[in-house]
A = this chain, B = another copy of it.
């Protein structure tokens, strides 16, 4: 490990303005948590996602995908055809995140009953 590494400030989401706080918010977002796992088994189109995620609006889907794209978690692909054909897929970074979220999902399913009656 080089000296420069030792000088790095490690991200701390408990500090309000630390960028990692924002990242926590993006990842820990209700819709992100639903969109990301859907992309694991291949690219999906806008209308497909809209149909698969009951209750999401076009607006929220677009907004969620854009934010995930900003953070390099999802890649948007426009085929330039008419009628329009666009799909979204996980980047390698997004794939690795999807694995972690998958664990979260499994946890929820596994502990579902116990969570409910509390």
Contact = CB atoms under 8 A, between A and B. Distances in A.
Contacts of A29: 28
A14 interface: yes
Interface in A54-110: 54-55, 70-73, 93, 96-97, 100-101, 103-105, 107-109
A24 B30 CA distance: 7
Interface residues of A, number: 45
Nearest to A16: B55
A118 interface: yes
A52 interface: yes
Contacts of A96: 107, 111
Contacts of A71: 115, 118
Contacts of A109: 10-11, 20
Nearest to A118: B72
Interface of A: 10-11, 13-16, 19-21, 23-25, 27-30, 32-34, 52-55, 70-73, 93, 96-97, 100-101, 103-105, 107-109, 111-112, 114-118
